[in-house]
Amino acid sequence: MDLIYLVGVLVLVLSALSIRKLSIGFVLRSLISWALIIVLTVLAVAHRHEIGAVFAAASAKLGIDDQQVDGGTVRIRMAPDGHFWARVTINGVARRMLVDSGATITAISDRTAAESDVKPGSGLPVMIETANGTVAARRGRIDKLAIGPLETEDLGVVVSESFGDLDVLGMNFLSRLHSWRVENNVLVLQPRADAGSQGSDVTEPAKPAERRRPRGERES
């Protein structure tokens, strides 16, 4: 039925163009141009995350600082695709990850897991709901994940080849922060200053031992 409908639309368009006595060559060029526009639009929507990562990487190479550190706070500027891309290290391996508050758990690709030595469990796979449908994934643990000075340990992840080259930083990381918010198209990530040495929280970098604490500051 969809094919019949499409053919009918094309017949009507060609009929309208023939009434205007346009050449067959012009009609064919117009149809090809519109077909290319539709194909490019579909591809751009389907691969919007990958395109965003490319834009973010290109900005970094051009010296456009999209991620800044202010003390223990990290600020990430919104990318041209409307998303926030963080420069992250997973077990010391650099990656760009999409910060997604709609994702319950952090998700990484098979390639990222292999390069950062994240070993998925051998148990039954879990089913994950994504923008492209439900995919099967395996659970794993990241020993250490860091965004600039923000560090956390033993972070749960899911790993799947279905994620392609997309790595997503989910709510199980964001919930370990003191706070996170968006101000003027900038994502602000603030550490939990009183977390001490607990591995389950994102903490500020340790202060040098010889540094004198200001009066009234409580030792964590």
The answer to whether residue 143 scores a pLDDT higher than 90 is yes
Residues 31 and 116 in one domain: no
Beta sheet of 179-183, edge-to-edge order: 67-70, 73-77, 186-190, 179-183
- In a domain, residue 217? The reply is no
Q: Which of 6, 201, 168, 173 is nearest to 99 (CA)?
A: 168
The answer to whether the beta carbons of residues 73 and 189 sit under 8 Å apart is yes
Neighbours of 153 (CB within 10 A): 18
Domain assignment of residue 162, given as a range: 66-190
- Number of structural domains (the chain) is 2
Q: Report, as an integer, the average pLDDT of 188-202.
A: 66
Where on the phi/psi map is residue 156: left (φ > 0), alpha (ψ -120 to 50), or beta? beta
The answer to whether the beta carbons of residues 177 and 148 sit under 8 Å apart is no
Q: Can you tell me the distance from the alpha carbon of 34 to that of 32, in angstroms, rounded to the nearest whole number?
A: 6
The answer to whether residue 131 scores a pLDDT higher than 60 is yes
- In a domain, residue 212? The reply is no
Residues 7 and 77 in one domain: no
Residues 9 and 94 in one domain: no
- In a domain, residue 200? The reply is no
Residue ranges of E strands in 67-132: 67-70, 73-77, 85-90, 93-99, 106-109, 126-130
- In a domain, residue 220? The reply is no
Residues 174 and 86 in one domain: yes
- In a domain, residue 202? The reply is no
Please report, for the domain that includes residue 89, its CATH number: 2.40.70.10
Q: What percentage of residues in the chain have a pLDDT greater than 90? A: 42
Residues 34 and 128 in one domain: no
Residues 40 and 77 in one domain: no
Residues 117 and 155 in one domain: yes
Give the chain's largest Cα–Cα span. 87
- In a domain, residue 198? The reply is no
Return the pLDDT at 13: 61
Note the pLDDT tens digit of each residue in 74-115.
999 998 889 999 999 999 999 999 999 989 999 999 999 999
Residues 160 and 74 in one domain: yes
Q: Can you tell me the distance from the alpha carbon of 12 to that of 7, in angstroms, rounded to the nearest whole number?
A: 9
Residues 168 and 81 in one domain: yes
Residues 99 and 141 in one domain: yes
Residues 90 and 180 in one domain: yes
Residues 119 and 184 in one domain: yes
- In a domain, residue 124? The reply is yes
- In a domain, residue 199? The reply is no
